[in-house]
């Protein structure tokens, strides 16, 4: 039992990205106080710079041997570093899109960026958390920042409602997660993931101990399912997606999903890996329900943000399917899927933000009527995004589904695979609705694009990557496989 | 150094299509000429597949193979044999025609229209040449996208319904194929179609895989009862879309039976051949009668397409029966006839849809009752139309006769009653085609607008003349075409008749 915390330089270096980001947050927060109106943009650029540097620092840590520091509460391995790099990249892209939205809707404030960075810090802690406490701490930093971030549009009733809903439900979920953690702690006598793993692995567990572990496990799964937005813990997703300012929706739908998957890996794969048959069964139910509800309910939506919320739910179902398999390559397929999803989701919300104007949210499917005429390039991008989400080759969404389905089938669950593809066809219908609006219908109002050049450029690269990574997915699949 | 001809045939039209999009609708004339130039270039390049083809071997030719997704042992593996090569040439040939046919009519976003057809050409050539399961699936699904847009953007009044129905129908069919592709990968460790030909599968596995493939291919062919998307798509699609749909996309389904079902699941194909034959006969006979009562010319031709494609599936699956009754030549004839029928139907259906297109461009009506006595104002055009109608009815001397005759010969060896039923199509087919000809082209002029019709111009004349030539050449001298296929078909027959159990 080592419980002494050592703060030597070597161990601090391992947490350098987090330490840097924390310092940057303090600097931006203080600096923002003294920035006068014409220099407000500085906060934005500093945020981007901090994220970039954090990303580079994390990138440099890839390939380091697994190191556990701070008294067994913080782990650095390739999974953590690679996830952090992707989170930074996604966050930077999200910030580029957000800026346009914030300026259009007069929400551009320094606090916004500070809160985003804080939530990212929380996610980094989640990704690297190696004890129940660190994981919970990271999750709470993330969640509290997100609640506030939504409420930043304080003069919008919808946003306040979304923030409150998210807060109340999120608090319940956190409570359940904590309850589960206390059970696991109570029976195993440790907060440390590695020790929990050793305990759960030991062959001499009494049935009473297995029962308590199982009991705790159920609550852990609920907490994770809530954060991922899996059915039946998905009720907050559509409301929060729709009510939040689109830039926040964009953020919530992307980066935190990576962190939630990381938390899942830490708790269930690293910690309770030996209980895999138990949590696989739970995930199976969650996955199939998510895919089904996500696909069916989305059919009736007229609001594109709400539709994408349900689409997220069904994507989460696929991610969980990857974990259901209970094999290393299956987990890799889930990681590949979540990264592919983040790429698609960023681009999809990017398009919505692109069309935003003061007083015009562009969040109805009918707002996209005739887009292919006014803005053929971005209509084409949206076409690719939607087809990719539907799982049509040669876009990345297909290869992500292929990877997961291949794992599912090789685990002998052909029926599950059949259910999944049938719902993929059903979900294709609502993705087609967007394409129908853009291409087949004439618009009655001009949806003009007046976004700045940087946003157009990043969005184009983002969307084209969906095709390019789809054509050459080999590197990314190998990367996902190297993480476990 | 690999021979990159096939890759060029796939990627040149796709990249060329991209270039045409970049040119934009503002420079429509340049875009049109450029698309035509690309299409013609690709067509002539594809002819060197024919000239360089060695018809004495069933092995794949013009093969290219390089690693694509090493994680799953997926390769960029393409090549052609005697079955796929004629279909590729049919594809490049038809694309030239549709680009010519959309020259003046398409005023709405002309560059995008041309680009969609070019891209589709590349993707479909990819379907016919892919030798890797996932590569095949990628092209197969991707080819839906341009067709979805063509129907949805340039189609008729009810185009949205038709486009989405088309997409979802075919998507639903093909996802089951994907599952069986993955299943076979898990079993064999490879996505190579040629390796799957030798993969041993139990009877149960074969049955499941057979039906999964069947879902995908039957929707595409389309077979009764999953044919309902076709009349909608055809009626709503612009002329060019209908031509490509009928001439090539339906062939993808037939090709699937040749490339996947027969060689990979021979025992299941044998086991379920009766079901398929019955469905084919329903398509041939019942859909023929359905065609008879249509008032819309395009719908009539769409139903006639389904009926004619029934011959393809009939020919393919009759081989098992023919073999059982100790008539291997019958089996061979059926299979080869199916292949000839696919090519011939490619020409005839394209021609029929173009004929309707010519009329529609002038009077904007597809209703048979709008017309009558067209011959008075359009004599040259009527000449072509009657020729194609005869070919559609299966008149000897036209390509329509050859394939159907071969299939019927095969069916006679299989079971005389099947042959009798199949033969009724010669009567029903003649009935609906000639009745339409009578009502549209002959008789007295009832609609004053018909009197003012201008006969076909040089562009339309050349397109129809080229097709007429193709129909007659294949009809009078099919030998060269049959020779190219011969060895490959023979090999396929062996595969289909060799039990894997």
Which residue of chain B has the CA closest to A411? B186
Q: Are strands A67-69 and B74-80 parallel, antiparallel or unpaired?
A: unpaired
Per DSSP, the three-state class of A303 is strand
Name the residue among A399, A409, A436 with its Cβ closest to that of B164.
A436
Are B176 and A429 a contacting pair at CB < 8 A? no
**Cα distances (Å, whole numbers) of residue A159 to A150, A179, A215, B417:** 6, 30, 36, 72
All residues at 6 or more sequence positions from B326 whose CB lies less than 8 Å from its CB, including other chains: none
- Residue corresponding to tokens 């404030």: A109
Residue with the two structure tokens 């390509």: B399
Q: Please determine, for residue A4, whether its predicted confidence score (pLDDT) is greater than 60.
A: no
User: What pLDDT sits at residue B103?
Assistant: 85
Suggest the residue from A422, A474, A479, A480 to mutate for an interface test with chain B (most B CBs closer than 10 A): A474
DSSP state of B73: T
Q: Which of B71, B175, B179 sits opposite A409 (nearest CB)?
A: B179
Residue A327 and residue A243 in contact, taking contact as beta carbons nearer than 8 Å: no
As a whole number of angstroms, the distance between CA A218 and CA A177 comes to 9
The two three-digit tokens of residue A302, written as one number? 């007229």
Share of residues in chain A with pLDDT > 90 (%): 57
- The burial class, CB within 10 Å (0-12 / 13-18 / 19+), for A478 is middle
Closest CA to A387 of A341, A353, A428, A355: A428
Residue A408 predicted with pLDDT over 80: yes
Q: What is the pLDDT of residue A452?
A: 86
Per-residue pLDDT of B253-291, as tens digits, reads 999 999 999 899 988 888 888 899 889 989 888 998 998
> What pLDDT, on a 0 to 100 scale, did the predictor assign at position A154?
85
CA distance A13 to A61: 9
The full set of domain ranges for chain B reads 273-501
Question: DSSP string covering B274-297, please?
Answer: HHHHHHHHHHHHHHHHHHHT-SBH
> What integer pLDDT is reported at residue A446 of this predicted model?
64
List Cβ neighbours of A320 (8 Å cut-off, separation of 6 or more): A228, A230, A283, A286, A287, A290, A334
**What's the pLDDT at B1?**
43
CB A88, CB A53: distance < 8 Å: no
- Give the residue-averaged pLDDT of A419-432: 92
B296 backbone dihedrals φ, ψ, rounded to 5°: -100, 125
B185 Cα to chain A: minimum distance (Å): 9
Strands B74-80 and B61-69: antiparallel
Query: How confident is the model over A53-106, as pLDDT tens digits?
Result: 999 999 998 888 888 888 788 888 889 999 999 999 999 999 999 999 988 888
Contact B185 A435 (CB under 8 A): no
pLDDT band, very low/low/confident/very high, at A310 (cuts 50, 70, 90): very high
Helices (H), A325-439: 328-354, 371-374, 376-390, 396-410, 414-435
- C-beta of residue A354 within 8 angstroms of C-beta of residue A449: yes
DSSP tag of A56: H
A393 interfacial to chain B (CB closer than 8 Å): yes
Residues near A52 by Cβ (< 8 Å), separated by ≥ 6?
Answer: A88, A92
Closest residue in chain B to residue A333, using alpha carbons only: B71
The residues, ordered by sequence, that sit 6+ positions from A23 with a Cβ below 8 Å of its Cβ are none
What residues in A contact B178, CB-CB < 8 Å?
402, 405, 421
Nearest-by-Cβ selection for A439 from B149, B172, B179: B149
For B71, the closest of A410, A424, A477 (CB atoms) is A477
Nearest Cα of chain B lies from the Cα of A434 at a distance, in angstroms, of 12
Partner residue opposite B138 with nearest CB, options A394, A409, A481: A394
Q: How far is CA A192 from CA A134, A187, A331, in A?
A: 9, 13, 22
Chain B residues closer than 8 Å to A436 by CB: 152, 160, 163-164
- How far are the Cα atoms of A317, A469, B238, B307, B409 from residue B393, in angstroms, in the given order? 52, 49, 24, 11, 17
Distances from the Cα of A144 to the Cαs of A115, A131, A139, B239, in angstroms? Answer: 9, 20, 9, 59
DSSP A192: B
Q: How close A397 comes to chain B (CA, Å)?
A: 12
Test the A interface: residue of B68, B175, B190, B238 with most A CBs within 10 Å: B175
The whole-angstrom separation of Cα A185 and Cα A191 is: 6
**pLDDT computed for residue A1 by the predictor:** 42
How far is it, in rounded angstroms, from Cα B132 to Cα A402?
15
Contacts of B251 (CB under 8 A, 6+ apart): B87, B90, B342, B345, B346
> How many distinct helices (H) and strands (E) make up chain B?
24, 2
What φ, ψ does residue A370 adopt, rounded to 5°?
A: 70, 15
Beta bridge partners of A76: A67
A387 in contact with B at a CB cutoff of 8 Å? yes
Query: What is the rounded radius of gyration, in angstroms, for the C-alpha atoms of chain B?
Result: 21
Tell me what pLDDT residue A7 has: 67
Please state, in angstroms and rounded to a whole number, the distance separating the CA atoms of residues B2 and A470: 25
- Predicted-complex ipTM score: 0.90
Which pLDDT value is given to residue A388? 94
Subunit contact A409:B186, Cβ cutoff 8 A: yes
Distance CA B167, CA B160 (A): 11
Give the pLDDT band (50/70/90) at residue A133. very high
Within 10 A of A302 (CB to CB), how many other CB atoms are there? Answer: 11
Nearest to B315 by CA among B329, B335, B330, B340: B335
Mean pLDDT of chain A: 89
Helix, strand, coil proportions of chain B in percent (round to 5)? Answer: 80, 5, 20
Distance CA A291, CA A306 (A): 16
By Cβ distance, the residue of B70, B71, B145 closest to A392 is B145
Residues 6+ apart with CB under 8 A from A175: none
Judged against a pLDDT cut of 60, whether residue A303 lies above it is answered with yes
Structure tokens at B2: 């690999």
Q: Which of B372, B368, B346 is nearest to B445 (CA)?
A: B372
Task: Write out the residues of chain B at the interface with chain A, using a CB-CB cutoff of 8 A.
Answer: 68-72, 112, 134, 137-138, 141-142, 144-145, 148-149, 152-153, 159-160, 163-164, 167-168, 171-172, 175-176, 178-179, 182-183, 185-186
Q: Is the peptide bond before B45 cis (omega within 30 degrees of 0)?
A: no
B23, B26, B178: which to substitute to probe chain A, counting the most A Cβ within 10 Å? B178
Q: Which of residues 424-483 of A touch B (CB under 8 A)?
A: 424-425, 428-429, 432, 435-436, 439-441, 473-474, 477-478, 481
Q: Cα distance from B462 to chain A (closest Cα, Å)?
A: 32
Contact B355, B422 (CB under 8 A): no
Q: What gap in Å lies between CA A344 and CA A388, rounded to an integer?
A: 7
Task: Say if the Cβ atoms of A421 and B168 lie within 8 Å.
Answer: no
Cα nearest neighbour of A426 on chain B: B168
Q: Which residue of A has its CA nearest to B183?
A: A409
In angstroms, the CA A309 to CA B210 distance is 37
Contact B183 A414 (CB under 8 A): yes
Q: Is residue A319 pLDDT above 90, yes or no?
A: yes
pLDDT tens digits for A229-283?
998 999 899 999 999 999 999 999 999 999 999 999 999 998 888 888 889 999 9
Condensed to tens digits (0 to 9), the pLDDT of residues A437-451 reads: 888 888 776 667 778
Of B70, B172, B182, the CB nearest to A405: B182
What separation, in Å, do the N-terminal and C-terminal C-alpha atoms of chain A show?
A: 26
User: Which stretches of chain B score pLDDT less than 50?
Assistant: 1
Q: Residue A2 pLDDT more than 60? A: no
């Amino acid at each position: 039992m080592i419980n002494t915390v050592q703060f030597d330089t070597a161990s601090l270096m391992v947490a350098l990205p987090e330490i840097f980001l924390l310092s940057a947050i303090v600097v931006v927060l203080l600096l923002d106080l003294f920035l006068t109106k014409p220099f407000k943009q500085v906060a934005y650029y500093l945020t981007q710079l901090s994220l970039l540097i954090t990303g580079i620092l994390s990138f440099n840590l890839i390939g380091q041997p697994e190191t556990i520091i701070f008294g067994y509460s913080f782990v650095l391995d390739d999974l953590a570093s690679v996830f952090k790099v992707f989170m930074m990249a996604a966050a930077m892209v999200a910030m580029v899109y957000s800026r346009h939205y914030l300026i259009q809707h007069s929400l551009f404030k320094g606090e916004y960026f500070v809160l985003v960075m804080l939530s990212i810090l929380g996610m980094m802690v989640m990704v690297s958390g190696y004890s129940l406490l660190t994981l919970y701490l990271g999750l709470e930093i993330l969640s509290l920042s997100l609640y506030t971030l939504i409420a930043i549009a304080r003069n919008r009733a919808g946003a306040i409602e979304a923030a409150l809903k998210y807060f109340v439900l999120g608090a319940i979920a956190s409570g359940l997660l904590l309850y589960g953690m206390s059970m696991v702690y109570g029976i195993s006598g440790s907060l440390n993931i590695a020790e929990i793993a050793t305990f759960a692995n030991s062959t001499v567990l009494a049935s009473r101990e297995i029962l308590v572990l199982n009991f705790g496990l159920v609550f852990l799964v609920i907490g994770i399912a809530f954060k991922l937005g899996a059915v039946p813990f998905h009720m907050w997703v559509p409301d929060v997606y729709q009510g939040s300012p689109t830039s926040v929706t964009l953020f919530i739908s992307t980066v935190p999903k990576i962190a939630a998957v990381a938390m899942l890996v830490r708790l269930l794969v690293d910690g309770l890996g030996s209980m895999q048959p138990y949590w696989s069964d739970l995930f199976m139910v969650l996955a199939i329900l998510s895919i089904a509800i996500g696909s069916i309910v989305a059919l009736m939506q007229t609001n594109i943000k709400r539709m994408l919320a349900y689409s997220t739910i069904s994507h989460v179902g696929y991610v969980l399917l990857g974990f259901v398999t209970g094999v290393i390559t299956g987990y890799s397929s889930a990681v590949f899927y979540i990264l592919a999803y983040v790429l698609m989701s960023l681009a999809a919300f990017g398009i919505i933000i692109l069309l935003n104007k003061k007083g015009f949210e562009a969040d109805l499917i009918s707002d996209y009527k005739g887009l292919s005429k006014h803005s053929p390039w971005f209509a084409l991008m949206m076409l690719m995004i939607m087809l990719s989400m539907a799982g049509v080759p040669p876009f990345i969404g297909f290869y992500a589904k292929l990877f997961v389905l291949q794992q599912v089938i090789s685990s002998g669950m052909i029926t599950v695979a059949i259910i999944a593809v049938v719902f993929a066809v059903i979900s294709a219908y609502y993705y087609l609705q967007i394409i129908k609006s853009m291409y087949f219908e004439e618009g009655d109002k001009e949806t003009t694009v007046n976004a700045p050049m940087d946003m157009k450029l990043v969005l184009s690269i983002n969307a084209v990557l969906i095709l390019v990574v789809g054509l050459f997915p080999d590197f990314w699949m190998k990367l996902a496989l190297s993480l476990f | 150094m690999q021979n990159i001809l096939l890759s060029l045939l796939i990627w040149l039209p796709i990249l060329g299509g991209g270039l045409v999009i970049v040119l934009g609708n503002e420079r429509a004339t340049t875009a049109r000429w450029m698309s035509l130039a690309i299409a013609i270039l690709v067509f002539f390049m594809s002819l060197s597949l024919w000239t360089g083809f060695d018809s004495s071997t069933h092995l794949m030719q013009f093969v290219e193979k390089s690693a694509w997704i090493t994680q799953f042992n997926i390769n960029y593996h393409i090549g052609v044999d005697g079955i796929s090569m004629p279909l590729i040439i049919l594809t490049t040939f038809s694309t030239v025609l549709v680009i010519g046919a959309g020259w003046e009519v398409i005023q709405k976003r002309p560059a995008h229209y041309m680009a969609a057809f070019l891209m589709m050409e590349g993707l479909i050539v990819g379907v016919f040449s892919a030798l890797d399961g996932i590569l095949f699936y990628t092209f197969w699904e991707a080819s839906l996208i341009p067709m979805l847009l063509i129907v949805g953007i340039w189609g008729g009044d009810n185009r949205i319904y038709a486009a989405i129905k088309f997409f979802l129908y075919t998507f639903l069919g093909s996802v089951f194929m994907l599952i069986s592709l993955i299943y076979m990968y898990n079993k064999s460790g490879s996505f190579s179609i040629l390796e799957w030909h030798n993969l041993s599968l139990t009877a149960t596995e074969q049955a499941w895989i057979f039906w999964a493939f069947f879902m995908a291919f039957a929707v595409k062919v389309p077979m009764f009862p999953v044919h309902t998307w076709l009349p909608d798509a055809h009626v709503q699609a612009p002329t060019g879309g209908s031509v490509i749909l009928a001439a090539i996309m339906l062939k993808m389904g037939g090709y699937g039976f040749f490339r996947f079902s027969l060689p990979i699941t021979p025992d299941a194909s044998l086991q379920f051949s009766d079901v398929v034959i019955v469905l084919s006969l329903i398509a041939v006979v019942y859909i023929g009668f359905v065609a008879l009562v249509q008032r819309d010319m395009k719908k009539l031709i769409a139903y006639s397409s389904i009926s004619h494609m029934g011959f393809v599936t009939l020919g393919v699956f009759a081989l098992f029966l023919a073999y059982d009754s100790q008539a291997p030549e019958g089996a061979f004839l059926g299979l080869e006839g199916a292949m000839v029928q696919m090519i011939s139907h490619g020409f005839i259906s394209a021609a029929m849809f173009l004929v309707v297109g010519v009329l529609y461009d002038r009077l904007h009506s597809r209703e048979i009752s709008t017309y009558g006595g067209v011959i008075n104002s359009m004599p040259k055009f009527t000449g072509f139309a009657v020729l194609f109608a005869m070919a559609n009815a299966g008149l000897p001397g036209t390509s329509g006769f050859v394939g159907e005759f071969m299939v019927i010969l095969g069916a006679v060896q299989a079971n005389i009653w099947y042959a009798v039923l199949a033969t009724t199509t010669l009567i029903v087919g003649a009935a609906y085609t000639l009745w339409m000809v009578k009502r549209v082209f002959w008789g007295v002029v009832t609609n004053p607008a018909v009197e003012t019709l201008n006969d076909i111009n040089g562009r339309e004349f050349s397109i129809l003349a080229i097709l007429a030539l193709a129909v007659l050449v294949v009809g009078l001298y099919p030998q060269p075409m049959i020779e190219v296929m011969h060895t490959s078909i023979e090999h396929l027959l062996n595969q289909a008749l060799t039990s894997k159990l």
